[in-house]
């Protein structure tokens, strides 16, 4: 049977870590519904240390803060760096959990932050199909992250995440992006 929503990874699956990630991402999807009602974009990210302590949790705030950089992952990284007082998170063994696959900008942000592990929900292709957001071009990024020692587990609890994105669109919220002139 086709496993279109099966988990993908750039390292051997660690069942314990994966089960924890499923719980965290499901909780994030539930919390995201409240964040959307409060005016946030439809993405939520959390950063935990290796002991399981929450360091930062942030939603997408592009619209209400009028800043195109304010994706959930970027906000969470900025908050973690503020809390820990450093631009280099690598000594802290941090894991980032996010409701959808990071976009091209956030992949850069994650790479330069020192985050060690990334767990995400809905894959970019489905985000684009459901919402119309442009997630960017990201050739072979799981392998590129592996080369840099960043573990990735993706497509975790996809259906729950897709439901939240669909409701964002159905409620008529903003699909923010610049105007494209391609001709």
Of 30-38, 71-79, 92-100, 117-125, the segment contacting Zn ion by CB under 5 A is 71-79
Q: Is 73 a catalytic residue?
A: yes
Least Å distance, CB 1 to Zn ion, is 32
Of 21-29, 47-55, 77-85, 101-109, the segment contacting Zn ion by CB under 5 A is 101-109
Asked whether position 71 contacts Zn ion by CB under 5 A, the answer is: yes
Q: Both tokens of residue 128?
A: 């684009």
Q: Both tokens of residue 175?
A: 């699909």
Least Å distance, CB 66 to Zn ion, is 16
Q: Pinpoint the alpha helices (H) of the chain.
A: 15-37, 72-84, 104-113, 124-131, 141-147, 158-170
Asked whether position 116 contacts Zn ion by CB under 5 A, the answer is: no
DSSP letter (8 states) at residue 146: H
d(CA 100, CA 166): 13
* Out of 106, 118, 130, 164, the residue judged to bind Zn ion by CB under 5 A: 106
d(CA 95, CA 159): 22
Least Å distance, CB 177 to Zn ion, is 12
Residues that bind Zn ion (CB under 5 A): 71, 103, 105-106
């Amino acid at each position: 049977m086709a496993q279109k929503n099966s988990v993908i990874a750039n390292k051997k699956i660690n069942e314990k870590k994966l089960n924890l990630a499923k719980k965290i991402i499901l909780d994030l999807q539930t919390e995201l519904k409240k964040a959307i009602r409060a005016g946030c974009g439809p993405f939520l990210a959390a950063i935990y240390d290796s002991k399981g302590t929450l360091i930062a949790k942030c939603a997408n705030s592009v619209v209400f803060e009028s800043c195109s950089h304010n994706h959930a992952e970027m906000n969470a990284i900025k908050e973690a760096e503020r809390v820990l007082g450093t631009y280099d998170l690598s000594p802290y063994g941090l894991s980032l959990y996010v409701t959808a696959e990071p976009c091209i900008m956030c992949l850069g942000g994650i790479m330069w932050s020192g985050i060690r592990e990334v767990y995400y929900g809905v894959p970019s292709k489905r985000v684009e199909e459901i919402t119309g957001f442009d997630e960017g071009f990201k050739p072979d990024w799981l392998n590129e992250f592996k080369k840099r020692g960043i573990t990735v587990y993706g497509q975790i609890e996809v259906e729950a995440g897709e439901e939240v994105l669909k409701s964002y669109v159905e409620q008529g919220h903003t699909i923010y992006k610049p105007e494209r002139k391609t001709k």
